[in-house]
Structure 1
Amino acid sequence: MSNEVELKLAVSPDFAEFLSQALSGLNVISQQTIFLGNSYYDSTDGFFAAHKMGLRIRRENDDFTLTLKTDGKVAGGLHIRPEYNVPLAENKADLTELVTRYDLDKSWLQLSLQAIFSTDFQRRLWLVEQGGTVIEVALDQGEIVAGEKREPICEVEFELKQGKITDLLRFVASLTLENGVRLSSASKAQRGYRLVAGKMPSAQDWLERWKDFLQSSQNMPKPLQKLTALFQFEQDLIEETVNLGADFFAQNFLRTVERVGAFFNLYHFYSENGKLLESAVNEQIESGRLHREDDLMLRLLDSHSRLLAAMKEIIRFHSETKDNAKAMAKLLELLHSAQYVHRMLDLILLTLNEND
């Protein structure tokens, strides 16, 4: 068993050429292109999905690997999760070796497994070394298939092979990214299960969730704890908004007002609570996880100011035009900007736990 640590970006199809150029000036140890076929399995009663695990067989050429990914931690697009791997002699979902080698629950051997969906994609790989840190950069392009339903895959994973998580974050932050990208907290397995279900995620009441955050944050003694909860709120809000899509909000004026208002509340709170940010930064400096010369706080203060101004403009536009679709398109464009990615990387770095 090992912990997989990776940062995931959802990107546009034309990102491949940009990425290749961005990495060309770095110390690329090796690079290759491979095709990966993956079948995901579960029991008839959805045991692995219910326990937030993913079980897959990956085929690379004539080799088969059974992998179990268990529930871990996701912060923005940073994924940290335990992973179990065993080679298979054939393309058959047999848990015997997995359970035996890692001393897992033997009752799993009684599970009746069936293929649920597949993810098939081309992977372009670059292994990059920088100052002792080794990072595998993987551009995946393909599709998720569940019966007759299909969903495209176009994402970049930065996996830490050697070094610290802070090194991984600073590496991605050093890249001059294009617009049309965002940090993604959804794994391929999660997206596959969502495709199988065939249901649009339900929209939460973010006004109530905001009230809950404000109330619960009063009982958080440390600034870093409060900021981490705020960041989690933002992650969840972004992921749901992107998954629902502009069309969902375009159908209803109040729905758009509420969603734009949720982001306004968020950025207004960030802007009005600069002391919270300063205290969290100082807490991380005292722990040795941040350096005093790092201008992270100034970058975040500037980004919060710009985001608040952008939300005020979207609110003005929506109020004057009543155009739900264009207002949401403006919001989604903001969430998919390179500047937003860099801001989220700063927040991950700031809220990173010392035990990560």
Structure 2
Amino acid sequence: MSNEIELKLAVTPEIADQFSQILSDFHILKQDKLFLGNIYYDTADRYFAQHKMGLRVRSENQQFTMTLKTNGNVTGGLHIRPEYNFLLNSAQPDVAVLQQIENITLPTDLKLAPIFSTDFMRQWWLIECGKNTEIEIALDRGEIKVKDKIKPICEIEFELKSGELADLFTFVANLSFVDGVRLSSWSKAKRGYQLTQGGLSTAKDWLEQWRVFLDVEKSAVNSQQVLTALLNYEQQLIEETMQFGIDFFAQQFIQTVERIGAFFNLYHYYVDNGHLIQQVFEQQLERNHNLDENMVLDIVESNQYLFEQIRHIIRLHSESKDSQQAMRRLQNLLQQGQYVKRMLNLMRMVN
């Protein structure tokens, strides 16, 4: 068992096409390109999904690996989770091997069936960036398939192989992204399970979710807990907004109003509670020497910028009644490179 520590970015095909050039200035230790076929398995009652685990068998150059990923922590686009890997002689999962994993209790009558597949071309690089720091970067382009349903895969994963977590944040923050990119908290497995259910059907009530956050704020023992809850709220809101897409929200004027209003509440809170960032910075400074006072200023300025942008979108939507245009502007805002850098700074503050 090992802990996988990675950041994930969802990117546009245009960014994917440019990515090799973006990495050309770095010290590349190894690189390769290969096709990966993956089949995810579960029980009839979705035991693994219910317990926030994912079980897959991967085919790579006629070699087979079974991987069990268990529930871990996801903050923004940072994924830290235990995983277990086993070499197999065929593409069939080995239930007996799974039953022998320590600290994990599985049903004794585990009956598995294929649920969905993820097939993609992976281009990867092992980058050396500083003393004792190596980061493996994987650009994946392909498809998630459930019978006749298909969803595209276009994402970049940055896995910390050696070094400090701060090195990973710094590396990604220094990449020359302008737009067409965002942090992603949804794994391929989660997207696959969503597709088995016909995709997303009902958007969350984000006014109710905001009340839940305010309850957390009241009961939190320190500012770091508040900021962590706020960051998780923000990432989930972004993820759902991007997964549903522009057309879904633009169907009805009020749906667009409610979605943009959820972001208004978020950025208004950040601006009204600017002291929160400073408090977390001071709490973290003693144990995290990689934090810089300029980070606080950058976050505060970014929050003010986002608040002004969302007010502009609200005004535009109110005047034009054009929900398509309003949602397109919101999505473009969420996929700016500077938005990614802001989220990375926030993640530094809470990790």
TM normalised by structure 1 equals 0.95
Q: How many residues of Structure 1 are paired with residues of Structure 2 in the alignment?
A: 350
Is 1:72–2:69 an aligned residue pair? no
Q: CA deviation at 1:18?
A: 2.3
CA distance in 2, matches of 1:84, 1:246: 38
Q: Which residues of 2 match residues 108-119 of structure 1 at below 5 A?
A: 108=108, 110-119=109-118
Q: CA deviation at 1:211?
A: 2.7
1:241 maps to what in 2? 241
Q: Hey, which bits of structure 1, 4+ residues long, moved more than 4 A?
A: 101-104
2:250 maps to what in 1? 250
CA-atom RMSD, angstroms? 1.4
Q: CA deviation at 1:98?
A: 3.3
CA distance in 2, matches of 1:101, 1:329: 47
Q: Secondary structure at the match of 1:348?
A: helix
Cα pair 1:281 1:290 within 8 Å, conserved: no
Q: Secondary structure at the match of 1:21?
A: helix
2:263 maps to what in 1? 263
Q: Which residues of 2 match residues 84-163 of structure 1 at below 5 A?
A: 84-100=84-100, 102=102, 104-105=104-105, 107-108=107-108, 110-131=109-130, 132-163=132-163
CA distance in 2, matches of 1:221, 1:41: 40
1:272 maps to what in 2? 272
Cα pair 2:16 2:154 within 8 Å, conserved: no
Q: Deviations over 1:178-236 (max 9, x none)?
A: 31111010000011111111042421221222233224312223111111111111111
1:334 maps to what in 2? 333
1:41 maps to what in 2? 41
Q: Which residues of 2 match residues 175-254 of structure 1 at below 5 A?
A: 175-254=175-254
Cα pair 1:128 1:137 within 8 Å, conserved: yes
Cα pair 1:201 1:243 within 8 Å, conserved: no
Cα pair 1:16 1:139 within 8 Å, conserved: yes
TM normalised by structure 2 equals 0.96
1:278–1:104 distance in 2 versus 1, CA, 3 Å: closer
CA distance in 2, matches of 1:279, 1:201: 39
Cα pair 1:39 1:116 within 8 Å, conserved: yes
Cα pair 2:124 2:138 within 8 Å, conserved: yes
Q: CA deviation at 1:102?
A: 4.3
CA distance in 2, matches of 1:120, 1:288: 39
Cα pair 2:143 2:152 within 8 Å, conserved: yes
Q: Where do 5+ consecutive residues of structure 2 fail to align?
A: none
Q: Deviations over 1:23-49 (max 9, x none)?
A: 111110010001100011111121111
Q: CA deviation at 1:286?
A: 2.4
Q: Deviations over 1:224-270 (max 9, x none)?
A: 11111111111111111112211111111111111111101111111
CA distance in 2, matches of 1:92, 1:288: 45
CA distance in 1, matches of 2:85, 2:43: 19
1:69–1:106 distance in 2 versus 1, CA, 3 Å: closer
Which residue type is aligned with residue 267 of structure 1?
Y
Cα pair 2:7 2:79 within 8 Å, conserved: yes
CA distance in 1, matches of 2:308, 2:104: 52
